[in-house]
Amino acid sequence: MARHNAVRPRRANYANHLVIMAKSPVAGRVKRRLGREIGDVAAIRFYRNCLSHTALRLAQDRRWHTLLAIDPDSDVAAPFAPSRQRLARVKQGNGDLGERMRRLFSLLPPGPAIIVGSDIPAIEAEHIARAFRLLGRSDAVFGPATDGGYWLVGLKRKPKALAPFAGVRWSSPHALTDTLANLKGKRIAFAASLTDVDTKDEYRSLRGSAERLILPFPNRPKVG
Q: Which CATH class is domain 10-211?
A: alpha beta
Question: Partners of 71 in the beta sheet?
Answer: 23
What pLDDT, in 10s, does the model give residues 5-57?
A: 443 333 445 789 999 999 998 888 888 889 999 999 999 989 988 898 899 88
User: What DSSP designation does 74 have?
Assistant: G
Burial class (CB in 10 A: 0-12, 13-18, 19+), 105: buried
Question: In the structure, what pLDDT confidence band is assigned to residue 211 with cuts at 50, 70 and 90?
Answer: low
Question: In the structure, what pLDDT confidence band is assigned to residue 221 with cuts at 50, 70 and 90?
Answer: very low
Residues whose CB is less than 8 angstroms from the CB of residue 85 and which lie 6 or more positions away in sequence, other chains included: 55, 56, 59, 60, 66
**Single-letter amino acid, residue 50:** C
The length of the chain, given as a count of residues: 224
C-alpha 132 chain-centroid distance: 14
Strand order in the sheet with 188-190: 88-91, 65-71, 17-23, 113-116, 150-155, 140-144, 188-190
pTM of the model: 0.85
What pLDDT, in 10s, does the model give residues 95-130?
A: 999 999 999 999 998 889 999 999 898 999 999 999
Helix (H/G/I), strand (E/B), else coil: 152: strand
**Of residues 122, 90, 120, the one with CA closest to residue 106:** 90
